[in-house]
Chain A
């Protein structure tokens, strides 16, 4: 299993996208589609015979030389490093780029890349923000069919509903396994470190879903046999890292400093639906209805029928967490706005919390380590 974890770590950190290049060599004539976080209807991309890949910045692996001149001050790191990846040729293996309505910076990034790379296909999916309306699922299904027509035009082959239904079944399986992985972590966090779970899940951003399913099954079969000791750590929920991802080192550090991360919102798109998407009936409509009714709560999706802070409260209760760590990317407006009602909710529950801000490229972790250790000590010796 060490080798599997090593491979997943390499995948997560490879900004050269060797895996994508290899897949394209093995599948001549087929396209790789990059999508920006948080969620994309990967089933549609898969059913088109294409490889969906979530491109979420360059982590700490790339110096920004050109992107600052395009995006200026007060813009988060993931926007700049994604632009830098494109301007430096790292995204050349991709044939298409999909964005969605998560935030203002990401939306503008779509069009900046489109101008600079006019030969690639760029599209923007309007993921609806009004699930209360009776018209929403129908609109989203029409939106998906629009994108299907575009992708079908690229590949020269019609995307059939049966293909989408098969893809939905595959991704349902993948999400089910990820839910199971999280259950293991919540109940026996000493069996699976957060960084291990993170790379296992995030590897699915790069691999064909069939291959990812095999890895997850292998991991879940291995976990019960794993010999490990329980540590004396506090149980925390990490909230706020749904888009830009913190450095892997930071995730390791948080647990080393005395925490069990029993829930998080890392790479949230991989576990977007709380339950399986229906596989009977019109599959496009099913995907749309699942988005409206079965999505996890997220700072980039607004459902006023159930506020997100209620979602966080449920998560804290369900996981029996002792504390919440708000781990927020610098300049991430959706996370920072949500921080206020989240904080109010957590305080009303008498749950301790800590806010940590990160960037993809953190130069020193000492300050963060001290903050987390102090926070843990304040709870342990309270």
Chain B
């Protein structure tokens, strides 16, 4: 079979790279005392809009960690962290980040400042609490938590929303003390309005993948677009980026251009990617001209394709709502099953790939049950594979390739025999 490689290389790809490098440059300036105040946060359910009220910049340790991994630089800091006692099986994002502090490494070679505030937005992932606590212990930076109630029911209660809103006000007060700046409600409201617009555009982009063929890969290419979503969505640059992205991808869709010359399979992928082997992993799907049409990982920073938008008329409440209910990590496991089911049905997928990552129990604990649900209950062809999102040692290339090949062979066989009997 001919070797297929695929990577979306439109103008938005380069543009996002430039934007992310601009962000790192701003952090470098901040480290030198010339840039904005900085607030370290987690990706999931981040409240970047609030930071705009202080003209502060976010630091995302997860982005730093994944940048290290995709550049094949994660093992050295991971080993440095293990040297001081971190367990081999614990989250490698944390270990890579801690190792960077120990070794003085950054993904770009520039400096990353000690945050003005370490703001642990506790959104589902319990590891976040440990991670930020350890960074605070190491750096001496002040630490604050926004405790976000987990989604125990279909919708958050009034008490849940009120609890988060009150904590957000406490964050504002703390940031005023730490930065010496007065919180600008107007800027905050404008940021929330920008987010709403970025989210609308992002949602439209996601829905383009419902077309056959899909004009982009909603896992591998979506990851390209996710950086600006976290860093810039609350700013006019973010809106402009997503407008350009929508325009470019809509043109592809209208021209009937897919990711491959012929789209053979349509997939939903669950779980984060193996960043240290990103290219290799992608090529395993490219070989079969299999395009991802939807993914849960691309909803870590926000679940926007089902209608939620920030609301400038109720900025605090809508930020709270985003943190509680509108990101995949703070939603319960069965809500994730339902999300994937909707993708399979409405994005017309042939199957589901479940990627278990050793580092992330939030994503991965129970994915065997998820497979059981999709295969036995819904009859959806499902493949379960294991590796890691950060640690390059946990990737069995030949075994993973064999399993993926076998999966597509069986899907192809099923399609062929169904065509023969006229199903």
Q: Are B85 and A133 in contact (CB under 8 A)?
A: no
Total interface residues on A, using CB and 8 Å? 54
Beyond A73-B386, A134-B170, whether A116 also contacts B127 by CB under 8 A is: no
A contact residues vs B (CB 8 Å cutoff): 68-75, 79, 101-105, 107-112, 114-116, 123-126, 128-130, 132-136, 138-139, 142-143, 146, 300, 302, 304, 307, 331, 333-334, 336-341, 343
B159 close to A (CB within 8 Å): yes
Q: Which residues of chain B from 5 to 38 have any CB-CB distance to chain A below 8 Å in the complex?
A: none
Question: Among A109, A300, A307, which residue has its beta carbon within 8 angstroms of that of B365?
Answer: A109
Nearest CB in chain A to that of B147: its residue: A130
Docked pose: A104 CA to B147 CA in angstroms:
15
B108 close to A (CB within 8 Å): no
Docked pose: A69 CA to B376 CA in angstroms:
13
User: Which 7 residue pairs spanning A and B have beta carbons closest together?
Assistant: A111-B333, A130-B147, A142-B159, A104-B361, A135-B166, A337-B130, A139-B163
Nearest CB in chain B to that of A128: its residue: B147
Binds A, one of B86-94, B179-187, B227-235, B287-295: B86-94
Contact residues in B for A109 (Cβ distance below 8 Å): 365-366
Contact residues in A for B356 (Cβ distance below 8 Å): 72-73
Question: Among A129, A337, A341, which residue has its beta carbon within 8 angstroms of that of B122?
Answer: A129
Q: Are A129 and B159 in contact (CB under 8 A)?
A: no
Q: Are A75 and B365 in contact (CB under 8 A)?
A: yes
Total interface residues on B, using CB and 8 Å? 54
Nearest CB in chain B to that of A140: its residue: B163
Q: Are A133 and B147 in contact (CB under 8 A)?
A: yes
Contact residues in A for B162 (Cβ distance below 8 Å): 135, 139
Q: Taking chain A's interface residues, is the majority helix, strand, or loop, or is none over half, making it mixed?
A: helix
Q: Which residues of chain B from 141 to 159 have any CB-CB distance to chain A below 8 Å in the complex?
A: 143-147, 149-150, 152, 157, 159
Docked pose: A105 CA to B124 CA in angstroms:
11
B84 close to A (CB within 8 Å): yes
Docked pose: A136 CA to B160 CA in angstroms:
11
Q: Are B127 and A124 in contact (CB under 8 A)?
A: no
Known A104-B126, A114-B334, A123-B152; 11 more pairs at CB < 8 Å: A107-B150, A108-B333, A108-B365, A115-B373, A134-B166, A135-B163, A304-B143, A304-B145, A331-B89, A333-B127, A336-B90
Question: Among B90, B144, B159, B166, which residue has its beta carbon within 8 angstroms of that of A333?
Answer: B90
Question: Among A71, A124, A133, A143, which residue has its beta carbon within 8 angstroms of that of B366?
Answer: A71
Q: Which of B133, B147, B150, B386: most chain A Cβ within 10 A?
A: B147
B167 close to A (CB within 8 Å): yes
B125 close to A (CB within 8 Å): yes
Q: Are B152 and A70 in contact (CB under 8 A)?
A: no
B364 close to A (CB within 8 Å): yes
Q: Which residues of chain B from 278 to 311 have any CB-CB distance to chain A below 8 Å in the complex?
A: none
B369 close to A (CB within 8 Å): yes
B362 CB to closest chain A CB, in angstroms? 4
B176 close to A (CB within 8 Å): no
Q: Are A116 and B369 in contact (CB under 8 A)?
A: yes
Q: Are A70 and B149 in contact (CB under 8 A)?
A: no
Q: Are A340 and B334 in contact (CB under 8 A)?
A: no
Beyond A135-B163, A304-B133, A337-B134, whether A104 also contacts B333 by CB under 8 A is: no
Question: Among A79, A101, A341, which residue has its beta carbon within 8 angstroms of that of B134?
Answer: A341
Q: Are A111 and B126 in contact (CB under 8 A)?
A: no
Q: Are A133 and B333 in contact (CB under 8 A)?
A: no
A39 CB to closest chain B CB, in angstroms? 15
Contact residues in B for A69 (Cβ distance below 8 Å): 368, 372
Q: Which residues of chain B from 318 to 354 have any CB-CB distance to chain A below 8 Å in the complex?
A: 332-334, 337
